[in-house]
Amino acid sequence: MRFAALISLIGFLLASISVAQDQPHLVPRNPIPQPQQQSNVDPGTDYNVASGTKIPLTLTQGITTKTAKEGDPVYAQTAFPVAQNNRIVIPAGSYVQGVVRRVARPGRVKGRAELQLSFTSMILPNGYTVLLPGAVDKVPGMQTVDTKGSEGTIEGQGSKGKDAATIAKTTAAGAGLGGITGDGKGAGIGAGAGAALGLATVLFTRGPEIQLDPGASIEMILERDITLEGPKLRQQ
């Protein structure tokens, strides 16, 4: 009876630890830039924005690997203007649309969450629409993700450290509670029970998801040159 009660108490503590660890990491919301009315380009000149140009974006909707699906739309706005020869060719606040290309949820024992986005079009404040070949270069300000590969796949954190901490906490809790029973074997039995429950939690709990909240910053990189026509940039 004592052992059964000990197992139940360790299970309760384990559930509390799991709930605390699964709280999502929220990214502070950045203000969404307001579109400018027009750029100050020369209407008689076309402008070439070179491949490799990096354009900071602000997401206008949240994305998480827990619910995202391949083909889901992605919406953002440019957070800073792109200029050439003292002329603004892409104003801040231009709308950028993209798509979720691939989603991989984190594994229960190994395997990190992955999210691949591509950006397909941009609408300037005057309605001029340009097709894009844009990818994610990096996600500034987020310590919980990295980018990898030429296509800018966003990769989440691994769970090895969290898994070890979970097992250590439940083992220590079990040993401490086992010692309360007063017999010489209680601490050892409690530690073993706690370790077993911690391992079970690790085996049945996924690693950290990728969570990009509205207002999150993403740096887009152009994968080929785009040409912006002067007359269309200046049209009202």
Strand partners, 90: 82
Tens of pLDDT, residues 92-125? 999 999 999 999 987 555 578 899 999 999 999 9
Angle value at C-alpha 202, between 201 and 206, nearest 5 degrees: 105
CB atoms near residue 70 (< 10 Å): 10
Could you name the CATH architecture of 31-157+210-234?
A: Beta Barrel (2.40)
Give the three-class secondary structure for 60.
Answer: coil
Is the model more confident about 213 or about 176?
213
Q: What does the alpha-carbon distance between residue 155 and residue 148 come to, in Å, rounded to a whole number? A: 7
pTM of the model: 0.65
Q: Where in the chain is the domain with CATH 2.40.128.260?
A: 31-157+210-234
The predicted pLDDT at position 174 comes to 43
Q: How confident is the model at residue 31 (pLDDT cuts 50, 70, 90)?
A: low
